[in-house]
Amino acid sequence: MAIMTRDFNSVDLSDPKAAALAVKRKALEMGADVVGIGNIERWANAPLQMDPKQIMPECKSIIGMVFRVERGSLRGIEEGTFFSNYSAMGYGGLTYLYMPMTVINLSKFIEDQGYEAIPMGHQSDWRAISNNGELKANFSRPARPGQARPDIMIHLRVAAYLCGLGEIGFSKMFLSPQFGPRCRVGIVLTDVELEPDPIYDGPQLCNRCMACVKACPGACFDPEKTIKVNLAGHEVEWADIDITKCAITFSGTKYTGVVQEDPYLRGNPNDTVPGEWSPFRHKPVNLYQSGQAVCGARGCTRACMISLESRGVLQNTFKEKFRRRPVWSVDWNTPDENVTDLKFTEEKKNEAD
Ligand code: SF4
Ligand code: SF4
């Protein structure tokens, strides 16, 4: 018995239309929920530090994929009882485990046919620009004159837009017509020429309802401050979200300006307490590297999703509405309730049987 290997050069990707179909079928088979294609010309005006051609000068196409966050993954936070699931399954695990497997496998399929492919999910930690879009001081230098500083960052939400997968909402979240803000984006850069999809022109998703703004526990959005960009000839505008505030708030942290004996963030800064949107006395550990979304995206995802679902504009519909009980809030100024029901009683055991 001889060793076995994959079939190389078994799929002809020379025709852009047929190749696009083959690649899309594979992407769905491999775990993407939605897939679209943008030609590289759509990135012609990309800033140097975000230009895909800085990574792959011969890049012809970008394949964008949407990966849903299960609505059920947000259920425990909505009920105020089970927070780790969203951070693990909908955030860190999806970003650092599931999505890479799909983009890597799709890239392998393309490379099997003799073309290069670069799988990309979130690789933000090495990038030369900060969350605020500024160059990090003393971080890296161009390897060749005139080139971008390593690492460049492809803006994934912009990529999803340029691949025709949906809109960028006022919240700056990517909104897909299937899942609204309840999704993440992965991409593959390739030198295969693939037939591109048109920029999204379906039913309007973001109607400026401002539900995201009102429900954000950190007041991270200033509705008066927006950013306008031109993406492949289309004017796109979103709120100038205060990323620093979001990074603090989403982990459940509230700053007081007063030194705390036992701060929410252990160590420095030492003036933190749990916000009323966190039931935890201290910030829980990160799950799958980045998962610390204690706020459960209360404004930019949950409130937005509820708004979009109620308008009937999303394709992934559910039998029951998402919000079924009033929004909870923890009052940290009152004494803790002493819940002692930690064991199955005989009666409960029988009920469970
Ligand atoms: S909550 Fe409303 S304003 Fe905010 S992104 Fe969603 S649809 Fe747009
Ligand atoms: S993640 Fe939370 S804190 Fe950040 S913008 Fe969304 S709702 Fe606000």
Show pLDDT as tens, one digit a residue, over the chain (353 residues).
Answer: 899 999 999 999 999 999 999 999 999 999 999 999 999 999 999 999 999 999 999 999 999 999 999 999 999 999 999 999 999 999 889 999 999 999 999 999 999 999 999 999 887 789 999 887 899 999 999 999 999 999 999 999 999 999 999 999 999 999 999 999 999 999 999 999 999 999 999 999 999 999 999 999 999 999 899 999 999 999 999 999 999 999 999 999 999 999 999 999 987 789 999 999 999 999 999 998 888 999 999 999 999 999 999 999 999 999 999 999 999 999 999 998 877 677 777 766 666 56
Closest-CA residue, ligand 2 atom 8, reads: 216
Query: What is Dmax (Cα atoms) for the chain?
Result: 74
Q: How far apart are CA 247 and CA 225, in angstroms?
A: 19
CA of 305 to the centre of ligand 1 (A): 8
Dihedral of alpha carbons 212, 256, 87, 242, sign? positive
Q: Which residues pair with 185 in a beta bridge?
A: 66
At what angle are helices 16-29 and 99-112 packed, to 10 degrees? Answer: 140
Instruction: Report which of 20, 100, 99 is spatially closest to residue 61, judged by C-alpha positions.
Output: 20
- The one-character DSSP state at 72 is G
pTM: 0.95
Residue 320 lies in a domain: no
What secondary structure does DSSP assign to 111-135, as a single string?
A: HHTT--EEEES--GGG-SB-TTSPB
Work out how many domains the chain is built from and give that number: 1
Strands (E), the chain: 34-39, 61-68, 117-120, 167-168, 174-175, 183-190, 226-231, 234-239, 253-255, 272-274
| 295 assigned to some structural domain | yes
Question: Which atom of ligand 2 lies at the shortest distance from residue 303's CA?
Answer: 7
Residue 76 falls inside a structural domain: yes
What residues line ligand 1, using a CB cutoff of 6 Å? 169-171, 206-212, 303-304, 307-308
User: Does residue 160 fall inside a structural domain?
Assistant: yes
User: Atom of ligand 2 at shortest distance to CA of 249?
Assistant: 3
The CA distance from 115 to 16, in Å, is 13
- Asked whether 310 and 226 are in contact (CB, 8 A), the reply is no
- Give the ligand 2 atom nearest the CA of 295: 2
User: CA-CA distance, 146 to 128, in Å (whole number)?
Assistant: 15
Handedness of CA 72, 73, 74, 80 (dihedral sign): positive
For a mutational test of ligand 2's pocket, the pick from 220, 222, 254, i.e. the residue with the most ligand atoms closer than 8 A to its C-beta, is 220
What is the C-alpha separation between 133 and 137, in angstroms, rounded? 12
DSSP-derived 3-state class of residue 161:
helix
- The C-alpha atoms of residue 157 and residue 160 are separated, in whole angstroms, by 5
C-alpha to C-alpha distance for 125 and 151, rounded to whole angstroms: 9
By CB atoms closer than 10 A (0-12, 13-18, 19+), residue 313 is middle
Instruction: Examine residue 214 and state whether it is found in any structural domain, yes or no.
Output: yes
Q: Which of 74, 210, 250 to mutate to test the pocket of ligand 2 (most atoms within 8 A of CB)?
A: 250
Tokens, residue 233: 């000839």
Atom of ligand 2 nearest to the CA of 215: 7
Distance separating alpha carbons of residues 272 and 252, to the nearest angstrom:
10
Tell me, yes or no, whether 297 lies in a domain: yes
The sheet carrying 183-190 orders its strands as 34-39, 61-68, 183-190, 117-120
Question: What's the CA-to-centroid distance between 15 and ligand 2, angstroms?
Answer: 44
Q: Do the beta carbons of residue 44 and residue 155 sit within 8 Å?
A: no
Is residue 237 one of the residues assigned to a domain? yes
87 lines ligand 2 (CB under 6 A): no
Domain around 215: 16-310
Does residue 117 lie in a domain region?
yes
Given this model, what pLDDT does residue 338 score?
Answer: 72
CB-based contact 60:191 (threshold 8 Å): yes
Q: Which atom of ligand 1 is nearest to the CA of 181?
A: 6
The rounded Å distance from CA 61 to ligand 2 centre is 32
Amino acid identity of 319? K
